[in-house]
Structure 1
Amino acid sequence: MDESEIRRQLEEVDTELARLRADVAAMRREIGERWDAPTDAAELATVLTNAEQQESVIETLEARRQHLQQQLGSA
């Protein structure tokens, strides 16, 4: 993989990370805003599970980003 391809992939990962982080922040705000409101427990559990799944994807993308940066360092 040449340097331009690595940089393109790195840009895609950064874009996806920014989107996912914004999504997770919105989900966490939604959970926080409802902490004292009468809510459906199942719905709240679903939102929390979704946030945790997104955070897992973020961790995977961060590892991918680190790998790409290492490739750039050796290129």
Structure 2
Amino acid sequence: MTTKDELQQVEEDLVRLKAENKDVRNQIRDIGATDQVEISAMISQADEQEELIAQLERRRDALQQRLQQEGVT
């Protein structure tokens, strides 16, 4: 897999994860205060997704930097 291909995959993963995370956060807001255990689990899931998103964003930045160094745009 080339650096450009890997960057494309990371960007696709970021789009997907951000949409999923937004959906989970919206579900949490819509549920209200009815089931604290479920809400807590969903918040934990959303927080874990946010960390994964941050990792992918760092990976994307590193790949973009590598492409610049290679002179590929």
The alignment's TM-score, normalised by the length of structure 1, stands at 0.88
Letter aligned with residue 15 of structure 2:
A
Corresponding position of 2:14? 17
Q: How many Å separate the matches in 1 of 2:34 and 2:50? A: 23
User: Does 1:48 find its partner at 2:43?
Assistant: yes
Show CA shifts across 1:5-59 (max 9, x none).
0110000000110110010000000011122xx5211100000000000000000
Greater relative CO (CA pairs within 8 A, separation 6+): 1
> Secondary structure of 1:39's partner?
coil
Corresponding position of 2:63? 68
Letter aligned with residue 14 of structure 2:
L
Shift >4 Å, 4+ stretches: none
Work out the percentage of aligned pairs sharing the same amino acid.
33
> Secondary structure of 2:34's partner?
coil
- Gap regions ≥5 residues in structure 1: none
Q: How many Å separate the matches in 2 of 1:9 and 1:39? A: 42
